[in-house]
């Protein structure tokens, strides 16, 4: 049975929570692995954190926001805990966000030093990005740091590993645990400060919602600059006794399914886009050993559910829901109660209120509050702006059952006013997905001189025709206003590094098409 959630359990620092997990599950337990296949125990991870952290501490100041520009792997996990061991704040940088957004993120968070790796920069071909940062930030390569670790450092790390609570820098649960940046799928990314309490609380909430077995292995191909990848793919397994298997990129569609099998993974974290691709590329036995798959960050299509059921029938596909501002998980389905079409049951300890939205008759705007809700946003001056009375406005229009199961109807921004009626762009995307289930679609709104706004479908279905959408809408009784009449056909619908649909790029595509028409 999952354990009950008690908010007092979150009153710990992140590093102390790691030490508590070591004490509970055993210092020698192998807890972390990546594609290099050299698993680390709790003791290995803690010693490595002290060894690296001591070096980083010598070049930074207490409480400093230190940039981390690394892919998912053992290296980024050690770096994260190394910073915590010495009271520094990891600032996770999105290397897929582009130079402009990355420089803005560093400026907003006051980042003076960025930790990265030669191997990663070379393999990902990010030299231009590093060159752009070097004018304002000091770039530190972890390989170079490791070469300076001498005998004295190793003795220190071994001693600190024996008495970690004496050697770690004491911090408070209310202190910053991480700085992350929102995905930017609808505009410029925002800096989010999550306290150590926020992170630990969300881990505890998930563990109280779903029964997790310490013998399981969590396979995480998602980046740690994304909160789903950090909390779900790193902190949740390490702090609950499960081994975390970190993989550097979700884009390696051909390699990942076989590695899921070889690593004896029990849980896969991913987005709908990637799960769909893995299922298509996988051999029959690659995913069948999973206990379940958890999908977040974007809506799970019926086609993905059908594909998993057809090829790997016994593996539940659980859709969840969250926001960076909530550390991130707000709700998730359970293996024992998996309600398709919903994003799952509300986590314990999360308060909600639903406010009506003018022009939208069904559902309302969701606000959440709880121990997992952020310390606040960073403004342009780098100052913290806490949520008013602790409430975070998700911007999502939802319905919720009496027992707390949530259905997302769309974002408030993702409604268009057509002929005086509010029309969900998400519903229009669902219509396209039902019409052409094997393709990817996105719908945006454009100004219309007669009706106020009109819907534009951007799709990789190169022979898509409006008449097919109209026929499908009539067959299922969908309103005619929800049918896009303009279709922009593209070879690939753009997505962000997190797997989310990139609506900023898609809006530009629609605007370019409109100018060319």
pLDDT tens-digit map of 147-168: 998 898 889 999 988 999 999 9
For residue 511, give both structure tokens.
Answer: 């605007």
Residue tagged 């709880």 (tokens): 370
Instruction: Look at residue 498 in the predicted model and tell me its pLDDT.
Output: 64
Q: Is the dihedral of CA 209, 210, 215, 219 positive or negative?
A: negative
Instruction: Look at residue 251 in the predicted model and tell me its pLDDT.
Output: 87
Instruction: Look at residue 11 in the predicted model and tell me its pLDDT.
Output: 92
Per-residue pLDDT tens digits for 414-466: 777 776 677 777 778 788 888 888 888 888 887 877 777 788 888 988 888 88
Per-residue pLDDT tens digits for 38-78: 999 999 999 999 999 999 999 999 999 999 999 999 999 99
Q: How far apart are CA 453 and CA 447, in angstroms?
A: 4
Under the phi-then-psi rule, with left for phi > 0, alpha for psi from -120 to 50, and beta for the rest, what region is 9?
alpha
Q: Does the pLDDT of residue 409 top 80, yes or no?
A: yes
3-state secondary structure of 61: coil
Smallest CA-to-CA distance from 368 within 379, 348, 354 is with: 354
Strand partners, 364: 398
Q: Where are the alpha helices (DSSP H) in 330-446?
A: 425-435
Give the rounded distance of the alpha carbon of 282 from its chain centre: 23
- Which fold does the domain 419-516 belong to in CATH? GMP Synthetase; Chain A, domain 3 (3.30.300)
Please state, for a pLDDT cut of 70, what percent of the chain lies above it.
97
Instruction: Look at residue 405 in the predicted model and tell me its pLDDT.
Output: 95
Q: Does the pLDDT of residue 297 top 90, yes or no?
A: no
In 182-197, which positions are buried (b, 16+ CB within 10 angstroms) versus exposed (e)?
Answer: bbbbbeebbbbbbbbb
Q: What is the largest CA-CA distance in the chain?
A: 76
Residue 460: CB atoms within 10 Å: 16
Q: How far apart are CA 47 and CA 31, in angstroms?
A: 14
Residue 6 preceded by cis peptide, ω within 30:
no
Confidence of residue 322 (pLDDT cuts 50, 70, 90): very high
Per-residue pLDDT tens digits for 174-199: 999 999 998 655 556 789 999 999 99
Classify strands 384-385 and 243-246 as parallel, antiparallel or unpaired. Answer: unpaired
Instruction: Look at residue 473 in the predicted model and tell me its pLDDT.
Output: 77
Smallest CA-to-CA distance from 273 within 245, 306, 250 is with: 250
The residues, any chain, with a CB within 8 Å of residue 481's CB and separated by 6 or more, are 418, 419, 421, 423
The residues, any chain, with a CB within 8 Å of residue 86's CB and separated by 6 or more, are 53, 54, 56, 57, 62, 168, 169
Instruction: Look at residue 188 in the predicted model and tell me its pLDDT.
Output: 62
Confidence of residue 209 (pLDDT cuts 50, 70, 90): very high
Residues 235/242, Cβ–Cβ less than 8 Å: no
Q: Where are the alpha helices (DSSP H) in 406-495?
A: 425-435, 466-476
Mean pLDDT score, 199-212: 96
For residue 414, give both structure tokens.
Answer: 């993702």
Q: Does the pLDDT of residue 343 top 90, yes or no?
A: yes
Please state, for a pLDDT cut of 90, what percent of the chain lies above it.
54
Strand partners, 332: 320, 345
Q: Does the pLDDT of residue 517 top 70, yes or no?
A: no
Per-residue pLDDT tens digits for 249-258: 888 989 999 9
Instruction: Look at residue 192 in the predicted model and tell me its pLDDT.
Output: 94
Instruction: Look at residue 60 in the predicted model and tell me its pLDDT.
Output: 96
Angle CA(198)–CA(200)–CA(202) in degrees, nearest 5?
Answer: 70
The residues, any chain, with a CB within 8 Å of residue 407's CB and separated by 6 or more, are 341, 342, 343, 363, 398, 399, 400
Instruction: Look at residue 184 in the predicted model and tell me its pLDDT.
Output: 57
Residue 240: CB atoms within 10 Å: 20
For residue 42, give both structure tokens.
Answer: 């709790």
Report the mean per-residue pLDDT for the chain.
Answer: 89
Name the residue ranges covered by the structural domains of the chain.
Answer: 419-516
For residue 164, give both structure tokens.
Answer: 């970690």
Residues 431/482, Cβ–Cβ less than 8 Å: yes
Classify strands 243-246 and 30-34 as parallel, antiparallel or unpaired. Answer: parallel
């Amino acid at each position: 049975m999952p354990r009950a959630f008690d908010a007092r359990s979150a009153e710990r620092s992140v590093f102390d929570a790691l030490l508590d997990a070591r004490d509970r599950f055993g210092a020698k337990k192998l807890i972390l692995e990546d594609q290099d296949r050299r698993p680390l125990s709790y003791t290995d991870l803690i010693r490595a954190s002290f060894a690296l952290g001591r070096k980083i501490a010598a070049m930074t100041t207490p409480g400093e926001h230190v940039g981390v520009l690394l892919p998912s792997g053992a290296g980024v996990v050690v770096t994260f805990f190394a910073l915590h061991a010495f009271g520094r704040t990891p600032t996770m940088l999105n290397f897929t966000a582009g130079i402009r957004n990355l420089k803005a993120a560093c400026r907003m968070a006051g980042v003076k030093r960025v930790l990265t790796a030669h191997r990663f920069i070379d393999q990902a071909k990010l030299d231009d990005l590093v060159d752009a940062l070097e004018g304002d930030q000091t770039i530190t390569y972890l390989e170079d740091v490791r070469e300076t670790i001498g005998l004295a450092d190793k003795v220190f790390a071994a001693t600190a590993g024996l008495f970690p609570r004496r050697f770690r820098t004491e911090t408070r649960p209310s202190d910053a645990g991480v700085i992350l940046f929102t995905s930017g799928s609808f505009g410029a990314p925002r800096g989010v400060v999550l306290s150590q309490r926020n992170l630990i609380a969300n881990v505890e909430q998930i563990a109280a919602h779903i029964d997790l077995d310490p013998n399981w292995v969590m396979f995480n191909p998602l980046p740690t600059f994304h909160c789903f990848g950090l909390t779900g793919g790193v902190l949740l397994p390490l702090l609950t006794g499960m081994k975390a298997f970190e993989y550097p990129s979700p884009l390696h569609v051909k390699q990942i399914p076989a590695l899921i099998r070889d690593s004896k993974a029990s849980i896969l974290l991913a987005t709908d886009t990637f799960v769909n691709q893995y299922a298509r590329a996988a051999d029959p036995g690659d995913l069948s050993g999973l206990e379940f798959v958890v999908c977040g960050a974007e809506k799970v299509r019926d086609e993905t559910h059908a594909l998993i059921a057809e090829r790997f029938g016994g593996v539940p596909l659980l859709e969840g829901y969250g926001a960076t501002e909530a550390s991130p998980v707000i709700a998730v389905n359970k293996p024992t109660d998996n309600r398709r079409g919903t994003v799952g049951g509300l986590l314990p300890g999360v308060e909600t209120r639903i406010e009506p939205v003018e022009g939208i008759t069904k559902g309302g705007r969701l606000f959440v509050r709880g121990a997992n809700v952020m310390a606040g946003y960073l403004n342009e001056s780098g100052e913290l702006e806490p949520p008013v009375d602790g409430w975070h406005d998700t911007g999502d229009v939802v319905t919720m059952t009496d027992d707390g199961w949530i259905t997302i109807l769309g974002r408030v921004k993702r409604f268009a006013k057509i002929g005086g009626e509010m029309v969900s762009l998400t519903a229009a995307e669902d219509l396209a997905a039902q019409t052409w289930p094997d393709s990817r679609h996105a719908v945006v709104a454009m100004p219309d001189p007669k009706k106020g706004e009109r819907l534009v479908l951007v799709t990789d279905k190169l022979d898509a025709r409006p008449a097919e959408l109209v026929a499908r809408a009539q067959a299922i009784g969908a309103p005619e206003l929800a049918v896009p009449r303009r279709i922009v056909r593209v070879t690939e619908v753009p997505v962000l590094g997190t797997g989310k649909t990139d609506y900023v790029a898609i809006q530009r595509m629609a605007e370019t098409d409109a100018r060319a028409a």
